[in-house]
């Protein structure tokens, strides 16, 4: 083992050992540790020229105590970061939620998965969250009963807890007030709370929020819930036998997808749901007669809710039985052909603009064709000028006067095209048993399965596989968000 000194720039490194049984490259690695000069940049002067990586020490004549000269530039010294690494668990809880990319789960308080899944789906609507925050700060108006007011405030508080918490939230206050307002959700069986129908919970909660968030202020939206979820329906009832005919208009919070042997797709079920036969007394005939009721959409919502009519009352077992038939549903839904003639005319311009925007993104020429779609479900990406900023601090929601205008202040219009943002599924054979789960699309575009207190990331392509046909989770309620366009 030889010992030498090495001079580099103004520094001298004494007593550097050379293991002559190893190639010179190992010696250069030693010098790298001392000087920071990588081996490939080192130029070491020895007898006969520069020291090569694979030279034979025995031929170089290096002697003990000899001073070797080295030239070369050291690597830049990496500066220590001004701030050390911050671990996620050390962040404030609100920042952890942002880093996590989704909100918290909800503890099951005893067969409350129907309630948890409903809350998670509605929590994904930022405009509803904003309206609830505003309501909580303004206080109860005189025309809202105390139980409705308290449930609305509890909903706002629960939404806030979900946004700020990383750990699962226990919705004790909300559940207590929901049972106080609607005692059927507090039914007991053998000392335990019974499973309930998620669609009933969804409907009752929206009704309560509609009552609470309604305002008499003319400068604001009169009914936030109607503006977000309300679907204007016009119906024509006709008796072929007597020739009698009547029409009516109503507003509903959801469309029904009726399931029969002929229904394989959501769109087919919606068409079935807008047509029905009823038997009632005919003044002209003086007896009962069959009437055909045909309905169509005359005003579009910001969020389109669709219920799959999977349950029916089975007298033999005295319970709600389930239709397991597979019914496919799309990620993008176009309901243009379910609209009235008047509404279709109003949709022409927004749909053409949306198609042109999509065409520009694909590098295509703008189309001059009619906006009537050949396919029931048209794939279109979100258009610029979407009315939701996705932050929960969205602009005030305006009630559509013409069935198309989404926000008059921004001159944005609905197009009849919707994107799937939430699915509430049921697993089991009866509405009052089994298990409910929410599948919700996040602002990032990722999907999260909320199985009570356990949020699980899911792939988008797997969401449409929840279509039924067996005992696995199948869609019971779907919520779609409208695509809008600026004109």
Enter the DSSP assignment of 335.
Answer: -
- Of 367, 376, 332, 366, the closest CA to residue 483 belongs to 332
Q: How far apart are CA 367 and CA 38, in angstroms?
A: 62
Contact between residue 301 and residue 230 where contact means Cβ atoms under 8 Å apart: yes
Q: DSSP assignment, residue 283? A: T
Distance of alpha carbon 325 from alpha carbon 264, whole angstroms: 8
Name the β-bridge partners of 246. 237
The dihedrals phi and psi of 292, each to the nearest 5 degrees, come to -105, 125
Is residue 282 within 8 A of residue 268, CB to CB? The reply is no
435 tagged catalytic: yes
Candidates 238, 265, 272, 435; catalytic one: 435
Contact 325, 259 (CB under 8 A): yes
Token pair in block for residue 22: 């190893």
Dist CA 487 CA 478 (whole Å): 29
Q: Output the CA torsion sign for 45, 48, 49, 52.
A: negative
CB 343 within 8 A of CB 297: yes
Alpha-carbon distance of 210 to 380, in angstroms, equals 31
| 113 labelled catalytic | yes
CA distances from 341 to 297, 345, 369 (A): 9, 6, 18
**Cβ atoms within 10 A of the Cβ of 157, count?**
16
Alpha-helical (H) ranges within 50-197 are: 93-100, 113-123, 126-138, 146-164, 172-181
- Asked if residue 206 lies in contact with residue 485, where contact means CB atoms within 8 angstroms, the answer is no
Structure tokens at 417: 């095209």
| Active-site pick, 29, 102, 113, 478 | 113
| Strand partners for 406 | none
Which distant-in-sequence residues (6+ apart) come within 8 Å of 204 by Cβ?
181, 182
Q: Give catalytic residues, as residue numbers.
A: 113, 435
């Amino acid at each position: 083992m030889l010992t030498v000194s090495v001079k580099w720039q103004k520094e001298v490194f004494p007593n550097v050992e050379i293991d002559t049984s190893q190639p010179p490259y190992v010696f250069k690695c030693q010098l790298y540790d001392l000087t920071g000069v990588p081996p490939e940049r080192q130029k070491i002067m020895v007898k006969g020229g520069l020291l090569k990586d694979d030279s034979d020490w025995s031929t170089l004549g290096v002697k003990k105590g000899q001073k070797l000269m080295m030239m070369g530039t050291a690597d830049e010294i990496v500066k220590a970061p001004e701030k050390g690494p911050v671990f996620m668990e050390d962040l404030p809880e609100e920042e952890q939620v942002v880093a996590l990319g989704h909100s918290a789960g909800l503890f099951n308080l005893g067969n409350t998965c129907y309630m948890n899944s409903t809350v998670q789906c509605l929590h994904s609507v930022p405009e509803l969250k904003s309206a609830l925050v505003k309501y909580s700060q303004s206080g109860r108006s005189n025309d809202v009963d105390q139980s409705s007011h308290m449930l609305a405030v509890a909903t706002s508080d629960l939404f806030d807890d979900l946004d700020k918490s990383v750990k699962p939230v226990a919705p004790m206050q909300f559940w207590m007030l929901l049972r106080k307002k609607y005692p059927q959700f507090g039914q007991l069986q053998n000392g335990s709370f019974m499973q309930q129908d998620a669609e009933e919970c969804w409907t009752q909660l929206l009704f309560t929020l509609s009552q609470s968030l309604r305002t008499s202020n003319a400068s604001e939206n009169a009914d936030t819930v109607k503006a977000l979820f309300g679907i204007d329906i016009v119906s024509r009832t006709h008796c072929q036998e007597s020739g009698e005919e009547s029409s009516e208009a109503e507003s509903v919070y959801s469309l029904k997808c009726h399931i029969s042997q002929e229904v394989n797709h959501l769109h087919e079920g919606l068409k079935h749901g807008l047509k029905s036969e009823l038997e009632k007394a005919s003044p002209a005939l003086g007896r009962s007669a069959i009437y055909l009721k045909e309905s169509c959409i005359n005003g579009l919502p910001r969020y389109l809710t669709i219920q799959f009519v999977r349950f029916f009352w089975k007298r033999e077992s005295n319970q709600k039985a389930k239709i397991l038939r597979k019914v496919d549903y799309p990620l993008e839904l176009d309901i243009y052909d379910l609209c009235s003639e008047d509404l279709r005319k109003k949709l022409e311009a927004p749909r053409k603009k949306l198609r042109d925007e999509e065409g520009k993104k694909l590098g295509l020429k703008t189309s001059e064709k009619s906006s009537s779609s050949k396919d029931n479900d048209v794939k279109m990406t979100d258009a610029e000028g979407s009315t939701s900023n996705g932050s929960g601090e969205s602009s005030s929601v305006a009630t559509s006067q013409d069935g198309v205008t989404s926000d008059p202040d921004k001159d944005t219009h609905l197009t009849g095209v919707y994107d799937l943002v939430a699915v509430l599924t049921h697993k089991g054979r009866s509405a009052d048993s089994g298990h409910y789960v929410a599948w919700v699309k996040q602002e990032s575009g990722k999907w999260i399965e909320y199985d009570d207190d356990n949020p699980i990331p899911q792939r988008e392509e797997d969401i449409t596989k929840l279509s039924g046909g067996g005992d696995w989770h199948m869609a019971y309620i779907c919520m779609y968000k409208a695509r809008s366009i600026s004109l």
